[in-house]
């Protein structure tokens, strides 16, 4: 087996979603040697079209946004490696990351690995996402869901808050619990807002341009749109293995400069926040990149 490629950089960014790519653009324009390693699983790639990003008056798909940002970063000299970081460690001065064939030594590391949504029981969920039938972020796109018949699926205590938010946009919202847990007070709160609650979910299936929920009581309901409220898995394992502080859910704890409790290790985007917004990710990235630049030795022309 060949020896791994040895690479040195000032800033290693793990993840090429909106947060990681924005950090790379800033750092490259600060003339910092920046490397991105990306496993190709950005949650943003699943966005059929976003209408709440400034300047994109006709909206933009997640894949279009990522492609444009990668081109921009590459234009400033950022190398983007398609690989998975297998280990991340730290010696006295540097972080050391490894992929299957490369060993990377870096002064600073930006973790921009995001989250993975837990999926509802729908076999062809990816097609439903592409068609806009299955959606995850009412903050992002409830405006486009106005007046639709909407189902919210998940554990009752998760689904209720999302359903109540959506109730401001449509009169037809139904909560479909994924478990047989009854909470009379919460159900009463939903009823007060004219949000229905069904029996527990058995299965989901596509039914033409709608999604059908099959229930444990033998009944079924069809919806124009379904929002899962199943929770997510945070891709923070590399930081946690180094001993970084985190929330019970696995989100990385960071300071006002986006730095974790491990000096030189930063977190940006969904890996540190439960407000999963591209605009938030951009802000995290700018703050982290500026702090990284100011904390590295200066080189004068």
Q: Is the pLDDT of residue 5 over 90?
A: no
**H or E stretch covering 90:** strand 87-90
The band of 180, judged by pLDDT with boundaries at 50, 70 and 90, is: confident
Give per-residue pLDDT as tens, 64-83.
Answer: 999 999 999 999 999 999 99
| pLDDT confidence tier of residue 92, bands split at 50, 70 and 90 | confident
* Residue 184 backbone phi and psi in degrees, to 5: -55, -40
Dihedral of the alpha carbons of 218, 221, 225, 230, in degrees to the nearest 10 = -30
The reported pLDDT for the residue numbered 4 is 81
Identify whether the C-beta of residue 159 lies closer than 8 Å to the C-beta of residue 177: yes
pLDDT above 80: residue 182: no
pLDDT, tens digit (0-9, with 9 covering 90-100), for 106-151: 999 999 999 999 999 998 899 999 999 999 999 999 999 999 999 9
205-237 pLDDT, tens digit each:
999 999 999 999 999 999 999 999 999 999 999
pTM of the model: 0.94
Task: Measure CA of the first residue to CA of the last residue in the chain; give whole Å.
Answer: 42
Q: Are 196 and 173 in contact (CB under 8 A)?
A: yes
How far apart are the C-alpha atoms of 46 and 66, rounded to whole Å?
Answer: 11
What pLDDT is attached to residue 3? 74
pLDDT at position 183 over 90: no
Q: How many CB atoms lie within 10 A of CB 143?
A: 11
Q: Which residues contact 300 (CB under 8 A, 6 or more apart)?
A: none
Read off the pLDDT of each residue in 5-31 and give the average, rounded to a whole number.
97
Q: Are 151 and 211 in contact (CB under 8 A)?
A: yes
pLDDT tier at 2 (50, 70, 90 boundaries)? Answer: low
Q: Which two tokens stand for residue 120?
A: 């509802």
- Residue 54 exposed, middle or buried by CB count within 10 Å (0-12, 13-18, 19+): exposed
Label residues 109-118 b or e (16+ Cβ within 10 Å = b): bbbbbbbebe
Rounded-to-integer distance, Cα 269 and Cα 252, Å: 10
Nearest to 211 by CA among 94, 236, 219, 203: 203
Burial per residue of 62-93, b for 16 or more beta-carbon CB atoms within 10 angstroms, e otherwise: beebbeebbeebeeeebebbebebeebebeee
Q: Is the pLDDT of residue 1 over 60?
A: no
Mean pLDDT over each residue of the chain, to the nearest integer: 95
pLDDT for residue 52 is more than 80: yes
Element (DSSP H or E) covering residue 62:
helix 62-75
């Amino acid at each position: 087996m060949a020896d791994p490629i040895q690479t040195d950089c000032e800033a290693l960014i793990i993840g090429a979603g909106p947060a990681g790519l924005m950090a790379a653009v800033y750092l490259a324009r600060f003339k910092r040697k920046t490397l991105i390693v990306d496993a190709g699983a950005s949650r943003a790639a699943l966005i059929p079209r976003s209408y709440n990003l400034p300047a994109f008056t006709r909206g933009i798909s997640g894949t279009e946004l990522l492609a444009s940002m990668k081109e921009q970063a590459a234009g400033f000299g950022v190398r983007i490696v398609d690989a998975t970081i297998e280990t991340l460690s730290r010696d006295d001065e540097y972080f050391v990351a490894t992929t299957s064939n490369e060993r990377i030594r870096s002064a600073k590391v930006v973790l921009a690995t995001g989250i993975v949504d837990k999926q509802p029981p729908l076999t062809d969920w990816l097609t439903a996402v592409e068609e806009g039938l299955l959606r995850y972020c009412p903050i992002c796109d409830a405006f486009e869901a106005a007046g639709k018949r909407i189902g919210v699926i998940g554990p009752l205590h998760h689904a209720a808050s999302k359903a109540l938010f959506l109730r401001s946009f449509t009169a037809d919202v139904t909560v479909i619990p994924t478990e047989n847990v009854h909470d009379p007070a919460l159900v009463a709160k939903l009823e007060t807002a004219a949000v229905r609650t069904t029996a527990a979910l058995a299965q989901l299936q596509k039914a033409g341009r709608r999604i059908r929920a099959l229930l444990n009581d033998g009944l079924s309901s069809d919806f124009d749109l379904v929002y899962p409220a199943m929770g997510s898995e945070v891709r923070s394992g590399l930081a946690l293995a180094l001993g970084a502080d985190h929330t019970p859910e696995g989100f990385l704890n960071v300071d006002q400069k986006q730095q974790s409790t491990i000096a030189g290790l930063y977190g940006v985007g969904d890996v540190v926040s439960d407000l999963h917004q591209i605009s938030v990710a951009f802000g995290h990235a700018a703050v982290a990149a500026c702090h990284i630049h100011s904390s590295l030795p200066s080189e004068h022309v």
